[in-house]
Amino acid sequence: MDYFVIIAILVFLSALFGYINVRFFKLPNTIGLMLITIVFTLGVFALSYFDDTLLNAEKYIITQIDFKSILLDVMLSFLLFAGALHTNFEQLKVQRGPILLFSTLGVLVSTFLVGTAVFYLLQIFGLEVKYIHCLLFGALISPTDPIAVLGILKKAGVPKKLETKIVGESLFNDGVGVVVFLTIYQFASPSTETITALDVVELFGVEVIGGIILGLLLGWVTYRLMKSIDDYDIEVIITLATVMVGTVIAQKLHLSAPLAMVTAGLVVGNDTLRDSSMSETTETYVDKFWELIDILLNTLLFVLIGMEMLVLTFNINYIIAGLFAIPIILLCRYISLVLPIRIFEKKLDFVPNTNVIMTWGGLRGGISIALALGLSEDMNRDLFLVITYVVVVFSIVVQGLTVGKLVKKLAK
């Protein structure tokens, strides 16, 4: 089975499950697609007791797909550029202070709190895990997922200034979270030589600051090219080239591709630059093209998340630990947001109960699963993958379905 056949099967399943959701269940696409895929996979498991042909076919598809590489190295750049392109730049500029603290200090504090709490939680279950490995889990589960957040908040009726905080945080904190994860991973890897504090600062600085500088450069070059012509076909292709070439450059230079794509998307999508570089026709085509890319990749991603059940180790202690980890992670997120909110709430007139809404609206998704899949066996990969999966499913399904009601009740 070659890659074209695998892609064709995934697109077919995405279209089928998407149709079923829109036709019968009418849930937000991210939630509906993942739920239907999980039910489908459970049905395949049940059918395998009589005939395992379908189960073996699904397992083969999953084993042929490097989920971590596909999401982090390819899909994420397209999704983040599309998300940033349609983000309100002026609101983002007003809210830049809290967004910066949420996506840096918030991620670091949450990583430490979650790692420490989960370390003691696992001891209660008799699961001996090194503290550094629990910090790795804290790093991979702390960033909120922009893909899940963007898809669900559009239908949740969140006030614009609060939506900007949540979306802005999620656009930036996944890049920061990946860098934090990679830094701790180097400490945790037994084959790594001694790492100094200077090495950590250098890695963090080069990845984060370098990624943002590259994004600014890519955005400026794209703007200049689009301003010099008036041909919507070519201008759409220029934006596509920006993402693809920019991602390759970031990977070659060991910079943060996610942060580069977010920054480039914000520059190109900036209303002031849009008006001077794009005609009305070009703007429509660029927006529609990236909306379609966003919807297609989102659909494929959440079908893949549902199918990733097949790589889990079904240990009852792992599942119970995952269920206990949910309130711990939510509490740690709440605590990590306290300081940034206290600093800016009066100056920027925050919506009432911002902390509670941001805690519940900070969804986890494919990025956490991708990072968990990147753990090695000696880092308790099977354990943390199950816990991550439990947290992600709860986050997308339960939090995703109720965040709209919570906003209506609290944001008054």
pLDDT tens digits for 64-91? 888 988 988 889 999 899 989 988 777 7
User: At a CB cut-off of 8 Å and minimum separation 6, what does 345 contact?
Assistant: 354
Dump pLDDT digits (tens) for 278-291.
999 999 999 999 98
Distance CA 82, CA 113 (A): 32
pLDDT of residue 31 exceeding 90 = no
Q: Give the per-residue pLDDT at 120.
A: 96
Taking residues 254-274, report their average pLDDT: 90
* pLDDT number for residue 407: 82
Question: Of 310, 268, 272, 271, which is closest to residue 289 (Cα–Cα)?
Answer: 268
Residue 51, pLDDT score: 87
Confidence at residue 191, expressed as pLDDT on a 0 to 100 scale: 66
Average pLDDT, the chain: 89
The residue among 199 and 396 whose pLDDT is bigger is: 396
**Chain mean position to CA 268:** 21
Q: How far is CA 195 from CA 186, 191, 192, 200, 329, in A?
A: 8, 11, 8, 7, 28
Which one has a higher pLDDT value, 284 or 199? 284
The band of 154, judged by pLDDT with boundaries at 50, 70 and 90, is low
Does residue 236 carry a pLDDT above 90? yes
Whether residue 267 contacts residue 221, with contact meaning beta carbons closer than 8 Å, is answered with no
Domains in the chain with CATH codes: 3-63 (no CATH), 67-410 (1.20.1530.20)
Give all strands (DSSP E) within 177-239, no chain letters.
Answer: none
Q: Which residues of 106-127 are buried (b: 16+ CB within 10 A; e: fewer)?
A: bbbbbbbbbbbbbbebbeeeee
The reported pLDDT for the residue numbered 210 is 93
DSSP string, 300-359: HHHHHHHHGGGG----HHHHHHHHHHHHHHHHHHHHHHHHHHHHHTTTTTPPTTHHHHHH
Tokens of 411: 């944001």
What pLDDT score was predicted for residue 197?
67
Residue 195 has pLDDT above 80, yes or no: no
Check: CB of residue 95 under 8 Å from CB of residue 299. Answer: no
- What's the pLDDT at 346? 77
Listed range (12-26, 115-129, 297-311) with the worst mean pLDDT: 297-311
Q: What would the two tokens of residue 410 be? A: 């609290």
Ranges of H-type helices in 48-75:
53-63, 67-69
